[in-house]
Structure 1
Amino acid sequence: MFLQRIGNKGIGLGTILERAAARHPANLVALDHDLDIAPGLGRRVTVAELADLVDDFASRLAAAGVRFGERVVLHKGDGFDIPLLAFAIARAGGVPVLLSPQLDGASVAELLRRATPAHLLTDQTKLEQELPDTVHEYATSVLLATGHHPDATALADLAGTARVAPVALPADHPALVTHTSGTTGLPKLAVHTGRTLEARYRPQAGAVALVRRRETVAMHVSFVHSRVISAIAISLYRGFPLLVLKDSAPRHTADLFARLRPGILEAHPNSFMEWEELADDPRAPLAQVKYFSSTFDAIHPRTVHRLLHASRRRAPLFVQLYGQSETGPVVASAFTRRQTADANGRRVGIPFPGMTDVRVVSRDGRPVTPDNPGFIDVRSGGRAVAFLDEPERYAKQLTADGWWRMGDVGYRDRLGRLYLLDREVDVIDGFGSTLTAEDTLLAKLPELTEVIIVRGPQGRPVPVVCTRQDRPLDRAAWQAAAAGLPDMAEPVQWRVEDLPQTATTKIKRLELGRLLAG
């Protein structure tokens, strides 16, 4: 039976590292970058040192005027100090509002306006070079995590402030605000409570509890995503060493993995696609990986196949979680080496018993089938409780009987497994599933690193392709691979770095379609 409310006391963001340090103080966190707020700590840091850093900055924030329940919009240069500062804000009693470093200044200003009243915590570079002057009008105060500015309070000037006790927010009080992926426009600001964050943490922690051996966890997850909170907590509570990557470039990643030999990898689907070439590295950087974990989106079968076969561990698993920023993970599936490169990659799994549920509703009154997919609705104790300043958009995704509409279309098979076929806004009439077609093309054409099928002029499907080292596409091989698929326009070749992407490396399909039309 689905439990809409899970009894818990909330995750307690401000004391996550303190509690982890109480259990495993000498456990190590390795970074591939220096912390902007504490470059002197180096790139191998103990959990106890990180807990002390959070305590230090919580005291500075309190001295700067952050009070119980006040929002603090955090927008700074990319790095692991983003979640550390979020923990510090929470420890001071504030509510962190995390905005991606990749957002443009105008978008940040608008999201700050929606969050008012709120402090703005940024850095000197962002404030001087990217953010418009309107942020000073919207913000209660402007605080600088690094650097100085005459119109802002620099936290560096508050070093040595007397430490303060952590402030605990009630379990149902807003505890964290993150933005949605923004694949269809300006992101929404999703409000999470301590209770909803705990509900997201529990099923994943239960799965990791089955891991008996102490493993090094390598993580490349957007630092402003709610997923990073549970990933840190799950790893450090168990005493697993943590390797945090800001840079996902394959050569850089291979160098780190060859040296540190992680046993668990956590990343977004597009990062795993980048890392396919690690399977060919003679140093075997993936040899010790026992568990691969991909968050929130279906992943291409070719990627799963290549990575699992690069592991030299007995019976490695690839765990796929499906959900969204608003809900947390809702369903899960696991793949083994027995799955072939052309397996059905649209199967995203089954709900977490007692914690999440899913249904598929007809769009047109006809039965839901693979050829006539329906709306995917879910229930989850981890669902965000509101969209900040946009109650009507939140209410629009809630059905009359209390289910949350994901914006995706799919179907369930006789075993209850969910299949994701497309985003609702990306459906191309008469074509079928664009994601299934992309899986087929990637399985047949190993030279492709990405293929995205979008609606082009007059509604005709246009495939946008990227190749390894940007080599010219083999048109004969393409024609052979696409022969069994619905009619498409000729492929358009782009560099992968030119594709419009979100903070979690999702391709902004609607924006890509507009760019093609222009």
Structure 2
Amino acid sequence: MSQQSLLADRGFYLGPLFRRAADRHGAVFVTLDRPLDVDPARGVDLSYAVLADVVEELSARLWEAGVRPSEQVAVHKSDNVDIVLLTCAISRIGAVPALLSPGLSGPVVGQLLARLRRPWLITDRAKLAGPLADVDVPSLVRRTLTVDDMPTAGEPDRSGAPSERPAALSAPYAEPLGNHAGAEPPPPVRLHPREPALITHSSGTTGIPKLAVHCANTMWNRLVPQQAMGWPTRGETAALHMSFVHSRFYHLLGVLLRFGSPLVLITDPEPTSVGPLLSRHRPGIVETHPNTFVLWEELADAPGAPLSRVRSYGSTFDAIHPRTVRRLLGASKRRAPWLIQLYGQSETGPVAFQWFTRRSAARADGRRVGSGIPGFTRVRVTDDHGRPIAPGVAGRIEARTRGRILTYLGARETYERQLDGEWWQMGDMGYRSRFGVLHLIDREVDRIDSVHSNLEVEDVLMSRLEELREVVIVPGVDREPVPVVCVRGERPLDAERWREATADLPAMAEPRQWRFEELPMTATWKVKRVEITRMLAEGARA
């Protein structure tokens, strides 16, 4: 059999993840910051073995409810770790989890459900009574299962407000998954490695998210290089605050479970909550979104030194500010900590990587996102006609990878338009150095003629103004660069410091100060720049 055939037969399956880890490593601890919605009585101090049991119990309930192999099961519920367990349980019986972010609005969820093939829906009463209240859910799904019982009239919901209507009136079509408690787990089902195995969605920074279809084989091709990167920190306690509906979380989980790492899984990123938790567990691995790392700069000198034992930070989903890298690495007391940054998309997985150490972070270029992954990915930069261009010349970034998704569900033509043969158009502008290192400039849709790189200017401002929590430069009504800034503690921006910091930068409009919570965000805390431009335009018209 050829090497290509062998690679095509390999697969990364989510269903057996926890059981295999429990069999291999025993009762390694898993700590949560919030009890599971599917089984709150278990508390927050769990283990590999406990979570393996929960996955099997959930798969038994789903099978008893009627879910069968290859059927699509949408998961859209309040944010919590049980999203992960439900995903594994669905996969264990051969069905296809379709993960919809808890942060999506009801109308967007309705549109995504319509693209699926009459899926099952797993949700909770907070979603049914809130964002989905005005969505005709029964017409879009096969059946609706809730992870909690529906409230009776007058009983408080998750927000603390009393329910005005009995569940029978508010969502008569919904059935609690607990009705099938006690069912026997069926034998695991293993789909062919090239069949659809997982559906996630794109970030939606420029509009309605696209549904990305993964198979076990492409997921395996993403997993293997990440396992190699994780080898130096095998067995270290890992603290993770990541989107539970993003494919990156499941690959990282596969790496950590294989190596027997204790886990601290975090849903609330506020430093006042995270600090004591990390101080107690002293993780050697910390991974979260770049914008969360900016927030966690406050932990660098927090009481209890919560980051003092970190050996490896992981950052993906977006480029990270050099200021943040320096603060994080400076907070660790380990001899030689590092931060690894992965550049990629939901559609491709990581296609380039970059390491930062204390020494390299001191002179870090935030736009340098690294090199392709040998044997798995290649990166090139092309002109408008798809022709490779010389080093140092800006153009469109394209990637070739074995980890690319199968298609966009319900949008095959959109998928095909992003392909040039085997090369995938990333939608970013950048250039390669003469040594082949990739440098990111901006998203194509975010380019402003008078600014070489919005992202580079943002890095400079974040380094010069330590009080900034975020700065985003977007095109205004007349395509002029408009800086939108968020200041720590919501203090007013110091106008004189701003003038000094921007004196040698491209001319920009006066800064607009927003609260951080006002920035439109994706599930991975990416700022929706196009949405900010729209909001600014609407404000100007008003």
For the 8 Å contact 1:368–1:374, the answer to whether it is kept is no
Identify which of 435, 442, 452 aligns with 2:462. Answer: 442
The answer to whether residue 426 in structure 2 is matched with residue 406 in structure 1 is: yes
Q: Structure 1 stretch 131-140 or stretch 75-84: which is displaced more? A: 131-140
Cα distance between partner residues in 2 of 1:501 and 1:341: 29
1:316-352, CA deviations, whole angstroms, 9 ceiling, x for partnerless residues? 1010000011111111010011135563110000111
The answer to whether residue 180 in structure 2 is matched with residue 158 in structure 1 is: yes
Cα distance between partner residues in 1 of 2:135 and 2:403: 36
The 3-state SS of whatever aligns with 1:377 is: strand
TM superposition shift of 1:210: 2.5
Q: How do 1:300-319 and structure 2 match up within 5 A?
A: 300-319=321-340
Identify which of 229, 236, 248 aligns with 1:207. Answer: 229
Identify which of 139, 142, 145 aligns with 2:144. Answer: 142
The 3-state SS of whatever aligns with 2:347 is: coil
Cα distance between partner residues in 1 of 2:111 and 2:493: 41
Cα distance between partner residues in 2 of 1:503 and 1:83: 15
Cα distance between partner residues in 1 of 2:8 and 2:200: 23
Identify which of 332, 338, 349 aligns with 2:370. Answer: 349
For the 8 Å contact 1:431–1:486, the answer to whether it is kept is yes
For the 8 Å contact 1:20–1:233, the answer to whether it is kept is no
The 3-state SS of whatever aligns with 2:239 is: strand
TM superposition shift of 1:92: 1.7
Cα distance between partner residues in 2 of 1:414 and 1:251: 45
TM superposition shift of 1:5: 9.0
Q: Structure 1 stretch 282-291 or stretch 495-504: which is displaced more? A: 282-291
TM superposition shift of 1:7: 4.2
Q: How do 1:240-389 and structure 2 match up within 5 A?
A: 240-340=261-361, 343-363=364-384, 373-389=394-410
Give the corresponding residue for 1:182: 204
The answer to whether residue 419 in structure 2 is matched with residue 418 in structure 1 is: no
CA gap of 1:236–1:189, structure 2 versus 1, over 3 A, is: same
Give the CA RMSD over aligned residues: 1.7
The answer to whether residue 460 in structure 2 is matched with residue 459 in structure 1 is: no
1:253-308, CA deviations, whole angstroms, 9 ceiling, x for partnerless residues? 11111111000011111111110111121421110000001013211100001110
Give the corresponding residue for 2:526: 506
Unaligned runs of 5+ in 1: none
The answer to whether residue 393 in structure 2 is matched with residue 391 in structure 1 is: no
Give the corresponding residue for 1:58: 59
1:46-87, CA deviations, whole angstroms, 9 ceiling, x for partnerless residues? 111111111111011111111110000110111000011011
Give the corresponding residue for 1:232: 253
The answer to whether residue 453 in structure 2 is matched with residue 433 in structure 1 is: yes
The 3-state SS of whatever aligns with 2:474 is: strand
Q: Counterpart of 2:500 in structure 1: which amino acid?
A: A
Cα distance between partner residues in 2 of 1:488 and 1:140: 52
For the 8 Å contact 1:4–1:379, the answer to whether it is kept is no
Give the corresponding residue for 1:488: 508
For the 8 Å contact 1:3–1:354, the answer to whether it is kept is no
For the 8 Å contact 1:122–1:143, the answer to whether it is kept is yes
Cα distance between partner residues in 1 of 2:389 and 2:351: 23
The answer to whether residue 519 in structure 2 is matched with residue 517 in structure 1 is: no
CA gap of 1:329–1:262, structure 2 versus 1, over 3 A, is: same
- Tell me the matched-pair count: 514
The 3-state SS of whatever aligns with 1:209 is: helix
Unaligned runs of 5+ in 2: 151-170
The 3-state SS of whatever aligns with 2:293 is: helix
For the 8 Å contact 1:76–1:121, the answer to whether it is kept is yes
**Greater RCO (CA < 8 Å, at least 6 residues apart):** 1
Give the corresponding residue for 1:76: 77
Cα distance between partner residues in 2 of 1:321 and 1:203: 11
Cα distance between partner residues in 1 of 2:530 and 2:6: 35
Give the corresponding residue for 2:494: 474
Give the corresponding residue for 1:122: 123
Cα distance between partner residues in 1 of 2:529 and 2:434: 31
CA gap of 1:446–1:366, structure 2 versus 1, over 3 A, is: same
Identify which of 210, 215, 218 aligns with 1:193. Answer: 215
CA gap of 1:219–1:8, structure 2 versus 1, over 3 A, is: farther
Cα distance between partner residues in 2 of 1:286 and 1:377: 36
Cα distance between partner residues in 2 of 1:12 and 1:448: 42
The 3-state SS of whatever aligns with 1:11 is: coil
Cα distance between partner residues in 1 of 2:130 and 2:305: 42
TM superposition shift of 1:109: 0.7
TM-score (norm 2): 0.92
Cα distance between partner residues in 2 of 1:225 and 1:366: 31
Cα distance between partner residues in 1 of 2:302 and 2:184: 50
Give the corresponding residue for 1:107: 108
TM-score (norm 1): 0.96
| Identity within the alignment, % | 49
Q: Counterpart of 2:405 in structure 1: which amino acid?
A: A
Cα distance between partner residues in 1 of 2:21 and 2:72: 25
Q: Counterpart of 2:515 in structure 1: which amino acid?
A: R
Cα distance between partner residues in 2 of 1:92 and 1:63: 11
